[in-house]
Amino acid sequence: MIQEQPLSTGGGVRKWRNLRWWIIALLFLSTVINYMDRQNLSILARTIQDDLRISDLEYSYVVQCFLLAYTLAYLFAGRVTDYLGTRASMAVFVIWWSIADMLTSLSRGVYSLGFFRFLLGVGEPGNYTAAPKAVSEWFPPKERGLAIGIYTAGATMGAAIAPPVIAFLASHFHWRTVFLFTGSLGLIWVIPWLLLYRRPEEHPRISEEELKYIKTSDPGQSGSEEVPVEGRWRYILKRRETWILMFGRMLTDPVWYFYLFWFPKYLTDARELSLGQVGKIAWMVYLAADLGCILGGYFSGLLIKRGMNPVRSRIWVMTMAAVLLPLSPLINSAPTPLMAVGIASIAAFAHMSWLISLSTIIVDVYPKPVVGTVFGLVAAGSGFGGMLATNLIGRAVTSYSYAPVFIAMGFLHPVVYLMIRTIRTPKERPA
């Protein structure tokens, strides 16, 4: 998809073919790093808990510190993104969270660990407000689902490679060294980002052909709507789509948070696997989630090319996901750890297809000047839901078992689907 051959011009500045896919490649890498930086704690949870004498309930409080900051930060990260622009805001966010991850190596107990993960949570949301804004600037509707799917696949790729990589590093070095290593990756990433990213109309290396292609849009899309100069928040909050999408993520995103923060612990605690055994099979769940990102985005784009309305195409993909997620309760009753991982992989695939489609709906129905702000507000619902769910999971695991957790995860998506399917584009709404 990405072609490396540059095009030469008389002005001496070489033009790159498909420059927009280079942008997505960088966003993919930033998301890989983002998820490695948050996933390293769950992979090392048992080691850190034993070293710092932290209980399971206290561990849930540490995760909540991250999610509290993550939720609150989304309320301003989107506005910061729209104010500073994609290029500058992304650099600021990545530098912040990378340093916070490195500081985690200094933890001496539950309070310091919780504080450093709080700082991590302040910076990490920026990746998910700046990246979709970049997509809104660089991609036409028929490619947005795939573009968002590709960079979001970086999340699951980061989660997939984290277990074996972190397990390897932890087996050869102290767990504190792992945080120094993962944190340094983001600081390195900022260099090519600042060198490459510009808005399409300002980029010296974009060809006229690609610029013209990017500017093509669906005439029925709300991206052309004018946003009132005064009352940006009023415009966003009065739209029912904002509340549906925010509530939808609040209820369904805890499923993904479980796979990030608790599933490796489930394999070690409930299935009694060693850290090495977890590293050998846990990656399957995150690889399946990767495929969900790519195929979910690709399939909705394929439906658009065949004439379907963009929002309808996203909802069609979400329908399939809502049918698969009720398999979740079978994970806990699976006779072998490998079979449990297999069912969890199906659930992860379905959830990420769902998430990609929901995220792309935002780019489809809101004007470009407010995309970052809307993403931040909707994602705040995700953080709030994850924070509440993490506490409930911690209490359920401590007092009962993982069984009620898997049962609950089987019903969330079908319930939200009934609301999501009512979303309409401006062209579809009654006058």
At 374-424, the pLDDT tens digits run 888 888 888 788 778 877 888 888 878 888 889 989 999 999 999 998 886
Instruction: Judge whether residue 188 has pLDDT over 80.
Output: yes
Q: Is 276 helix (H, G, I), strand (E, B) or coil?
A: helix
Whether this model's pTM surpasses 0.85: no
Confidence of residue 102 (pLDDT cuts 50, 70, 90): very high
Contact 67, 383 (CB under 8 A): yes
Strand partners, 15: 7
Q: Both ends of the chain: CA-CA distance in Å?
A: 41
Single-letter amino acid code for the residue at 310 = P
Confidence of residue 426 (pLDDT cuts 50, 70, 90): low
Instruction: Judge whether residue 346 has pLDDT over 80.
Output: yes
Identify the residue whose tokens are 């060693």: 274
Res 132: pLDDT: 87
Res 117: pLDDT: 92
Instruction: Judge whether residue 206 has pLDDT over 60.
Output: yes
How far is the CA of 347 from the CAs of 158, 235, 308, 396, in angstroms? 18, 35, 26, 21
Res 35: pLDDT: 84
At 113-133, the pLDDT tens digits run 999 999 999 999 999 889 988
Q: Is 221 helix (H, G, I), strand (E, B) or coil?
A: coil
At 13-51, the pLDDT tens digits run 677 888 899 999 999 999 999 988 887 887 888 888 888
Res 10: pLDDT: 42
Instruction: Judge whether residue 170 has pLDDT over 70.
Output: yes
Confidence of residue 7 (pLDDT cuts 50, 70, 90): very low
Residue 37, token pair as written in the block = 């930086």
More confident residue, 286 or 123: 123
At 74-88, the pLDDT tens digits run 888 888 888 888 999
Ranges 160-169, 319-328, 330-339: which has the least confidence: 160-169
Q: What is the mean pLDDT of residues 235-259?
A: 90
Q: What is the mean pLDDT of residues 198-214?
A: 85
At 349-380, the pLDDT tens digits run 999 999 989 988 988 888 878 887 888 888 88
Helix, strand, coil percent values for the chain (each to nearest 5): 80, 0, 20
Confidence of residue 229 (pLDDT cuts 50, 70, 90): low
Res 187: pLDDT: 95
Instruction: Judge whether residue 321 has pLDDT over 50.
Output: yes
